[in-house]
């Protein structure tokens, strides 16, 4: 089984840097996705992190059960809901589990 937790809301001023955390438990082989939902738009993929390429992304190590996303110098247009999605392949068999976090609502003030 797995669970995925995210911070509910973050409010920052334009130009700030912001870190949005995604903490999870995993007993299999995890892949961590970040999606962004802008108003009236479909979810868009921001990044995908597997155990093999975790070193390519700053701010987190998928092996440590936390995989944050960092946005630098945010703009008002970055205001959106950011979701992480944990995809987990089990060690044995072909079972796959996909589970979203509840999302972080980022509000950027001018």
Q: Is 66 in the site for other proteins (CB under 8 A)?
A: no
Q: Is 50 in the site for other proteins (CB under 8 A)?
A: yes
Q: Is 62 in the site for other proteins (CB under 8 A)?
A: no
**What does each C-alpha distance from 14 to 22, 97, 103, 108, 109 come to in angstroms?**
23, 37, 21, 6, 6
CA dihedral 48, 52, 58, 61 (to 10 degrees): 100
Q: Which two tokens stand for residue 5?
A: 């937790």
CB of 51 to other proteins, least distance (A): 10
Mapped onto helix, strand or coil, the DSSP state of residue 84 is: strand
CB of 59 to other proteins, least distance (A): 21
CB of 15 to other proteins, least distance (A): 29
Q: Is 98 in the site for other proteins (CB under 8 A)?
A: yes
Per the CB < 8 A criterion, the answer to whether 59 and 69 are in contact is yes
The piece of 13-21, 23-31, 53-61, 62-70 that touches other proteins (CB under 8 A) is: 23-31
- The number of residues making up the chain comes to 110
- Per CB under 8 A, residues contacting other proteins are 4, 6, 8, 28-31, 33, 35, 40-43, 45, 48, 50, 83, 85, 87-89, 96-103
């Amino acid at each position: 089984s797995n669970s995925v937790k995210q911070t509910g809301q973050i409010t920052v001023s334009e130009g700030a840097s912001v870190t949005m955390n995604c903490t999870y438990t995993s007993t299999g082989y995890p892949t961590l996705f970040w999606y962004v939902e802008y108003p009236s738009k479909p979810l868009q993929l921001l990044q995908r992190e597997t155990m093999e390429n975790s070193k390519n992304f700053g701010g987190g190590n998928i092996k440590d059960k936390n995989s944050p996303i960092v946005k630098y110098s945010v703009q008002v247009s970055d205001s959106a809901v950011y979701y992480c999605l944990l995809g987990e392949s089990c060690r044995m068999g072909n079972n796959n589990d996909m589970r979203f976090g509840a999302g972080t609502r980022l509000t950027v003030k001018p």
